[in-house]
Structure 1
């Protein structure tokens, strides 16, 4: 399988360019296999832009840029052409079309979308909430959360919590371990807000072995043994049956895909 590197250059945080890159890459690599996406945010000088595109040339990466200033977009296009880099201007064509329709010059002010407005504060609040109530640290957060994720170790609870937090959801997560009773607050959470994350024993075994090796430990520890994994998954099934919550199989699913399923589930429950 051919690998691909994508550099996202932005004069703001680069979120728009990264989402465009992921949306397109998912059509070729649904699980983002052999892909690298790297953001270069707050690129607002010609010198910085020149260095990044040269680096992209050296690394054989394509470039997606979201730059609001016309001279910076022009420079990016010129540099990409000169250095043989595949460059994609995401905002330029839309700004040009909007300019023609409105007959107004754009402000060309980077970061307007991320000014300190109410929506920005909601996002920061959700991110801080996810950090504070990660991994069952404080069960009091479960009753304040928009979403509560439960699952055995290594089922992407923390990455999902952070991803959903960036979508303005307050998320808490609780690891399920047979030797530890879940907090009583978990059973007080409305079941439509609670999501169980399950994974195949084979995939979980692989992930845990890789985790142990990364920590410099023996990969045949109890944590990664099939018997232990089966025990934990059986315990998980008993808890989710008791709660009556939605369960999502995260085996071979990207965090974005699982998050979108959770968001759809919440919308369906509200309707």
Structure 2
């Protein structure tokens, strides 16, 4: 006999709201054995009936977030008919907001996840940051809004990903003393180039932690203090040759550094 509890989650959209609420509640009952069954984009009575009948075969509760009033009434009616416990998560909140605003909700599914131009630009920027991370393909530099340069552990990738979520296309290229600076970097307009640096002490600390996380000995050249000083000196010479601005990321949060980058490049004006 199946003694597990079943949580059926229904939504006329993605169902993320109901899922989060359900998880938050279920986490308060650690000793219960339950199964979660999630149904997205449920928008007709036939689909509701099929799900409710399935729920009636188990010890079930139906949680739902539906903005279409007819569909909400259908779920409540069918659950009552089949003796299944149900809970409408969204309607009570909509009712409160309706009273508060003195207005009626639009009752349109999926408005939280509207796919507008801004959304697609952000997705494109994120894909760009992944594709042109760590100097993977230098052909992308000419298409970037910003090109970040720096030796290892100067926050190139975290900054690229953070800025990509602001719809900025960022490529980043590592600087290594033993590898000649690629000609493509010299073709990037100076107003798009940003050099990143860090304090030798901070780099030494970060690199040692990185090696430990990988299960490697910290007694290697990568974390050697003299090696770090050599790399920093090399990067400084490259930045002077390129004539690009330099930001020291030591003791700066990613958000702070990103803000400085946007200010220097003038992209903060564009984003506003």
Query: Aligning the two structures, in what range does the TM-score lie when normalised by the shorter sequence?
Result: 0.5 to 0.7
Q: Paired residue for 2:207?
A: 208
Give the equivalent residue in structure 2 for 1:47.
Answer: 22
For 1:233, the equivalent position in structure 2 comes to 232
Residue 203 of structure 1: CA displacement?
Answer: 0.2
Larger-gyration structure (1/2): 2
SS of residue paired to 1:195: strand
Taking structure 1 as reference, are residues 104 and 270 closer, same or farther at Cα in structure 2, changes over 3 Å only?
Answer: closer
- Structure 2 gap ranges (5+): 1-10, 31-64, 68-87
Q: Give the distance between the partners of 1:54 and 1:258, measured in 2 at CA.
A: 42
* 1:158 alignment counterpart: 157
The SS at the match of 1:44 is helix
Per the alignment, residue 241 of structure 2 pairs with 242
TM-score (norm 1): 0.65
- Over 3 Å counting, the alpha-carbon distance change for 1:105 and 1:175 in structure 2 is same
In structure 2, the residue corresponding to 1:106 is in which secondary structure?
coil
- Is contact 1:68–1:109 with CA below 8 Å preserved after alignment? no
Deviation by residue 1:176-198 (Cα, 9 ceiling, x = unmatched): 00000121111111111111111
State the SS of the aligned residue for 1:217: coil
Gap change, CA 1:167 and 1:68, over 3 Å in 2: farther
By how many angstroms is 1:106 displaced?
A: 3.0
* 2:135–2:174 CA contact under 8 A, matched in 1: yes
Aligned twin of 1:170: 169
Deviation of the 1:51 alpha carbon: 2.2
Instruction: Kindly provide the CA deviation profile for residues 113-138 of structure 1, in whole angstroms up to 9, marking residues without a partner as x.
Output: 53222111111111111111000011
Q: Hey, what does 2:194 align to over in structure 1?
A: 195
1:53 Cα deviation after fit: 6.3
Whole-angstrom CA distance in 1 between matches of 2:224 and 2:208: 9
Deviation at 1:105, TM superposition (A): 2.2
Are 1:129 and 1:171, in contact at CA under 8 Å, matched by a contact in 2?
yes
How big is each residue's C-alpha offset from its partner over 1:156-214, in whole Å with a ceiling of 9 and x where there is no partner? 11111111111001100000000001211111111111111110000000000001111
Distance in 2 separating the partners of 1:104 and 1:74: 14
Residue 267 of structure 1: how far off its partner (Å): 2.1
Secondary structure of the residue that 1:141 maps to in structure 2?
helix
User: TM-score under structure 2 normalisation?
Assistant: 0.65
Deviation at 1:72, TM superposition (A): 4.0
SS at match of 2:121: helix
- How many residue pairs are counted as aligned between the two chains? 202
- Whether 1:265 and 2:240 are equivalent positions in the alignment is no
Contact 1:192 1:269 in 2 (8 A): no
Q: Which runs of 5+ in 1 are unaligned?
A: 1-10, 12-40, 56-66, 76-91
**What displacement does 1:240 show?**
0.7
RMSD: 3.2
Distance (Å, rounded) in 1 between the aligned partners of 2:168 and 2:261: 11
Corresponding residue for residue 123 of structure 1: 122
Contact 2:147-2:194 at 8 Å conserved across structures: yes
Q: Is the 8 A contact 2:262 2:268 kept in 1?
A: no
CA apart distance, 1:270? 7.2
